[in-house]
A and B are shown apart, each in its own frame.
Chain A
Amino acid sequence: MNRFSGALDRLGRAVLAAVEEMGKIILLFVSVLAWMFRPPFKLRNIFKQMEFVGVKSIFVVVLTGTFTGMVMALQGYHGFRMFSAESLVGGTVALGMTRELGPVLTSLMVTARAGSAMAAELGTMRVTEQIDALYVMAANPVKHLIVPRVIAGVLMVPLLTVVSDFTGILGGYFVGVHILGINSGIFIKNITRLVELNDIYNGLVKAACFGLILSLIGCYKGFNTYGGAEGVGRATTEAVVLASISILISDYFLTAIMF
């Protein structure tokens, strides 16, 4: 009985903590929104973050995109072959990339690369009192540190998703046409036949949401770091885990709403 109530207690605490954390993240988002439109705009900071989040992630995104497209083509081919519908491989790869895998994989990669870096950077700033220093200099850390990162996340992840979609389709094309021998005309025809503009654009809307989620969580975890180097490590891990989970969960709901 005692043990049971103890477990219940712990569960209640965990749920409460999760709810509280979510509330804090939403509050942070609100203050990001508030500070985002308050001049002066730190364009340099924004560009720096955009370079970090966007430009420097191109390579991994291209790599994951290409191979995802390739493996989709391969798997799809074997599946569709059972129904003599191999020509659908192109369309399937393109649909899968634009709707799901492009946005999700890109944001997971960016989470791993940039979300973690955000947490680590802000965490370090927190434990070395740099954030305190900002407060002391009457400079708002949300405006200086978080707004540029969130803007970069929201703008760059969709752009990276475009790259991922495109290279994924190219990868699928390569495997489908050059290795599996699907007719290239039919491959492309099926892409344009099955994929709608809305598939691409909804994918990008998703990507923007994911960009928001990962940058917000990265910043939140970093910003609330405590406990020295170990704390920075913990914050980074937590940021990646929480952001990844949130992306996957929100993906379900976004998909349910949009498609």
Chain B
Amino acid sequence: MFSLSSEAKVGLFVLVGLIILGYMSVQVGKQTLGLKKGYTLEVFFDNAAGLDRDASVQIAGVEVGRVESIQLQAGKALVRLRITPGVKLEHDAIAAIKTHGILGEKYVELHPGTRGAAFLGPGEQIFRTERQTDIDRMLNQLSLIADDVRGVTSSLNRVLAGQAGEEAITSILTNTKDLTRNLNHVIVSNEAALHAALENTRQLTGNLNRVVTQNDEKVGQVMDTLKSASVEMEKTFATLKEITGGINRGEGTLGQLVKDKGAAEKLNQTLASLQEVTQKINEGRGSIGKLVNDDETVRNLNEGLTGLNRYVNKAEQFRTFLSYRGEYLFDKSNAKSYLDLRIQPKEDKFYIVGVVSDPKGRRTTKDVTSLGVTTRTEEWDRDGLLFNAQIGKRYKDLVLRGGLLESTGGIGIDYLTLNDKLKLSFEAFGFGNDRRAHLKAGAEYRLFRHLYLSAGWDDFVSDQDNRSIYGGFAIRFEDDDLKYMLTTTPIPK
């Protein structure tokens, strides 16, 4: 037999070992190797709790460096970042400490700053930082917001409750009522003209339409109509002008309102104070203002709520399952596949939607009458998918379900036993046409956590020689199993 000397064996082993070591080192060291060459930046955070050395530094979710050191300096956390060469940050860049998910680890998020500003050089400091979000802070903010809302409403209350305020409001309301009445009157008195204008417009569009569609040559007539329409419109405008002139001159109630100094003043004042409030809000003063104006707050709130939501969701009973079933029909020598999504809003209630691929395909029948004889042709659509849409309810060990089974109406009964490990089921569907219903009986046994084995008798009363013993397997995942992907990937900002 071919045999190696110990030197050769040892040499080979050393070689393989070094290759593996090299491979692992390259895989692991990729970022680190690139980073050694990068440059450092300094940031002072008020609070760097939870941030570790070598934590990730990211821009827009892309890692661009690592935290090199964290020190205490003048009561603040001096965090030194090592940034990959080639990544440039402007002087007004912003640094923030963020969290992956709600319980994940901390990392430093950078916003590069405005374009065109000078770049930060090695060793320089990022001056702008964002406070980090945490649940305490968020709740704190929420209570501040509530306080502000109360303040706003109470001050509004004060404005409205006073004697002068009441009078002003009453007169405003009276004037408004008059104003609308007059406007109404104007409109009513000019109704005929308006109506004509509208009628003309309608005719115009109708004719235009005809011109376009039928290439009518009655352009001249159209032009006439147009002309008369414009004349009418001119009249309408003239009337409108008259009305506004009247208002200007202080005729009518609306005119009086506008001319009446006292009332106008009150209105003005009210509007001014309203404006002040909104301006304050706009300028971001007060907590509510901050809340509205500060993107960070909004984001923080959103983040927090998303995170909380997820937690709450998890506790809920709402569950979804995804399953694949494959069944081999021994007598037919072909296989059926089922892909089902099962949504279970409550423990004892569920919906199933899914598709079935049946190599036999879907049967469609067509009656053709020719020469007084009706012939029925059957067609099998082999590529066609069949659909499942069922609603089900569970009573202890018994499950009743019904709906669309393989694209036909049907019902199913499942009996679960052995701690739900074994499921005996009976299905009946495909009623209502000229053939016997499709009956199916089978059992499914849970072998491992996600793997099931199944066997049974398909279409066993078939008059089409379609009956077959089947055997197969199913894979069933609860959506929860995949959920971590959502929970640990950073929340999109």
- CB-defined contacts of A180 to chain B, threshold 8 Å: 481
- A sample of 20 cross-chain residue pairs with beta-carbon separation below 8 angstroms, ordered by A number, consists of A48-B6, A50-B10, A51-B6, A54-B13, A83-B103, A84-B488, A85-B484, A85-B487, A87-B488, A159-B13, A159-B18, A162-B18, A162-B21, A166-B20, A166-B24, A181-B481, A181-B482, A191-B28, A192-B28, A200-B28
Interface flags, A149-189, vs B, CB<8A=1, else 0: 00000000001101101100000000000001111001000
Interface segment, B29-37, B188-196, B296-304, B370-378? B29-37
Looking at A47, A162, A181, A192, the one whose CB has the most chain B CB atoms below 10 A away is A162
- CB-defined contacts of A38 to chain B, threshold 8 Å: none
**Is B484 touching A200 in the complex (CB atoms < 8 A)?**
no
- CB-defined contacts of A196 to chain B, threshold 8 Å: 28, 32, 54
What does DSSP make chain B's interface, helix, strand, loop or mixed? Answer: helix
- Size class of the B contact interface (CB-based, 8 Å): 35 or more
**Is B17 touching A159 in the complex (CB atoms < 8 A)?**
yes
- CB-defined contacts of A86 to chain B, threshold 8 Å: 484, 488
Which residues of B pack against A, CB within 8 Å?
6-7, 9-10, 13-14, 16-18, 20-21, 24-25, 27-32, 54, 56, 101, 103-104, 314, 450, 477, 481-485, 487-489
Q: What's the A-B contact tally at a CB cutoff of 8 Å?
A: 84
Interface residue from B10, B54, B101, B481 paired with A55 (Cβ < 8 Å) = B10
What does DSSP make chain A's interface, helix, strand, loop or mixed? Answer: helix
* Complex Cα–Cα for A151 and B16 (A): 19
Which residues of A pack against B, CB within 8 Å?
47-48, 50-51, 54-55, 58, 81, 83-88, 159-160, 162-163, 165-166, 180-183, 186, 191-193, 195-197, 199-200, 204
* Complex Cα–Cα for A48 and B9 (A): 10
| Nearest-Cβ distance from residue A188 to partner chain B, whole angstroms | 8
**Is B28 touching A84 in the complex (CB atoms < 8 A)?**
no
- CB-defined contacts of B54 to chain A, threshold 8 Å: 196
Q: A80 — nearest CB in chain B belongs to which residue?
A: B484
- Given A162-B18, A192-B28, A197-B28, 17 other A-B residues pairs in contact with their CB atoms under 8 A: A48-B6, A55-B10, A84-B314, A84-B487, A85-B103, A86-B484, A86-B488, A87-B485, A160-B17, A162-B20, A165-B24, A166-B24, A181-B450, A183-B485, A191-B27, A199-B28, A200-B21
- CB-defined contacts of A50 to chain B, threshold 8 Å: 6, 10
**Is A192 touching B27 in the complex (CB atoms < 8 A)?**
yes
A162-B20, A163-B20, A181-B482 known; A192+B6 contact, CB < 8 A: no
* Complex Cα–Cα for A86 and B482 (A): 9
Q: B13 — nearest CB in chain A belongs to which residue?
A: A55
**Is A85 touching B488 in the complex (CB atoms < 8 A)?**
yes
* Complex Cα–Cα for A222 and B13 (A): 27
**Is A182 touching B29 in the complex (CB atoms < 8 A)?**
no
Q: A87 — nearest CB in chain B belongs to which residue?
A: B488
| Nearest-Cβ distance from residue A25 to partner chain B, whole angstroms | 26
- CB-defined contacts of B10 to chain A, threshold 8 Å: 47, 50-51, 54-55
